[in-house]
Structure 1
Amino acid sequence: MVHHRRGRGRLCPCLRARDGGASRPAQLTAAFSAPACIGDTGWVNQAADSLSLRRAARVFFDFGSPRIIVAVLAAAIAGRVAIGGWSWWDLLGPAVVLAAQPFTEWLIHVFVLHFRPRTVGRVRVDPLVARKHRAHHADPRELSLVFIPLPALAGLVAGVAAICLAGLPLERGLTTLVTALMVLCTYEWTHYLIHSNYRPRRALFRYVWRAHRNHHFRNEHYWFGVTVHVADHLLGTFPERGDVPVSPTAKTLGVRQAA
């Protein structure tokens, strides 16, 4: 009897051959979406079927968005520690950020990411983030489309930093900025993990994992949260899966591709 054991995260020869000279993120995407196969060592490579958190983290930081967020976060933490002057008021900004997060996530998803192109006069309005999000819905397994586009990320981080640092005393502003960047990093990590081949092992992640997959594969008009679903529950967009029909536009968001 031949005993097949689980692989240790290496790509099977068939995957290496298939990847050719592709970039590392492209290779990793292919590895996650390819079927499992038996390598020349006799081990069953399950990298495509299951993904450890350690390997998931290594892949996560192969992409630009997480590296940028973590670099800015580290600088903000260093600045806050260097300035000092801690007080109970430091809790106020983070509390506001965390309370607003479910609704911020919901509003951005509904009105920005699902924005439909329109013409104003002779100008076609179709923001980059909306175009990238439609591409993400069309191909949810493509990891490079999971992350916030870098031009949009630069504007987002700059805008959040400006609000925090210009609208608050420096100490409180940096504390609030650190919290906002941690929330942003959590969003990117959670969204990435849902679209990777990591399988939920805890009830909380299984809950957000299932809801987001319903959004992609059941009906794009519901389950708009990614990290939390408080807004979905309060605003009526978290139905039971069987209570809504399968949407024919879940992959296109109702937008026809230009010829």
Structure 2
Amino acid sequence: MKAYLKEFWTDKRVMFISLMFIIYSCSALFTPYEPWSWTAVIGGVVFFFFLEYFVHRFVLHGFFAKIMPKAHVGHDAHHHDPLNMTFLLTPNQYNVPYHFLLWVVFSLAFWSFHLGSSVMAGFTAYHLYYEWSHFVSHRPIQPITPWGKWMKKFHLLHHYKNDKHWFGVTHPVLDSVFGTDPSQNEIEKTVTTPVKKDSKQGNAN
């Protein structure tokens, strides 16, 4: 387990997200408190909660892949080689611009650097949780909680059963809402992820 913790936390992408979480948190803590501070933090969590599903389904797999072709190619590479750390986490070429862009957008939208930082602190905390959940799904790590174990199996269905369904990595809520969480028996097995004999990441069935 120590080796996997080291692999995750020393990755440059995770280090960047962690650094931004510290910066956002300090920016929120050392600026005047506002009544909506914690609501802003929760709002950031909820924003990523939705972003996770829509980016995965419509940008990495769907029509909007044409808008970000490199992201689509990188995600396709992840499906063909899910154990490869290069394609497992969100690249910093996207992390860096969208973190700073969203920080500016939220700060201007609320006309408050404090609230903008609070939103981004919540957003980034959930982003770290997302990256860890995705990392665990493709490593021989047994999640501690029943929820973690269930979500790992849920994500592996997307890889090894049908990549047109089960887009959630940290939650199945939007899959349930939009009908992309069908019964396994109803769906034909059509995947792009090869099953490797030496794979210890888990079993989707």
Asked if Structure 1 and Structure 2 have the same fold, meaning a TM-score greater than 0.5 normalized by the shorter chain, the answer is yes
Which residue identity does 2:116 align to in structure 1? G
Q: Distance in 2 between matches of 1:108 and 1:176?
A: 19
- Distance (Å, rounded) in 2 between the aligned partners of 1:70 and 1:126: 25
Residues 232-247 of structure 1: pairs in structure 2 closer than 5 A: 232-247=175-190
Supply the AA of the counterpart residue of 1:97.
G
Structure 2 distance, partners of 1:86, 1:242, is 52
Contact 1:200-1:206 at 8 Å conserved across structures:
yes
How far did 1:115 drift? 4.1
Q: Distance in 2 between matches of 1:243 and 1:100?
A: 31
Same amino acid, percent of matched pairs: 20
Q: Does 2:45 correspond to 1:98?
A: yes
Partner AA of 2:42 in structure 1? A
Unaligned 5+ runs, structure 1: 1-51, 119-124, 253-259
> Any conservation in 2 of the 1:80–1:171 contact (CA below 8 Å)?
yes
> Larger Rg: 1 or 2?
1
Q: What is the SS of the residue equivalent to 1:175?
A: helix
**Residues in 1 aligned to 2:105 and 2:130: alpha-carbon distance in whole angstroms:** 20
Query: Which residue of the other structure, out of 81, 84, 87, is the alignment partner of 1:145?
Result: 87
Q: Helix, strand or coil: the match of 2:169?
A: coil
Residue pairs, 1:99-248, within 5 angstroms: 99-115=46-62, 127-168=69-110, 169-247=112-190
Aligned length: 192
Q: Which has the higher helix share?
A: 2
Gaps of 5+ in 2: 195-205
Q: TM-score, normalised by structure 2?
A: 0.85
- Do the aligned partners of 1:63 and 1:144 also contact (CA within 8 Å) in 2? no
Aligned-partner Cα distance in 2 for 1:56–1:240: 33
Instruction: Provide the secondary structure at the position in 2 that maps to 1:88.
Output: coil
Residue by residue over 1:113-146, the C-alpha shift from the partner in whole angstroms, topping out at 9 and shown as x without a partner, is: 114666xxxxxx6622111000000111112210
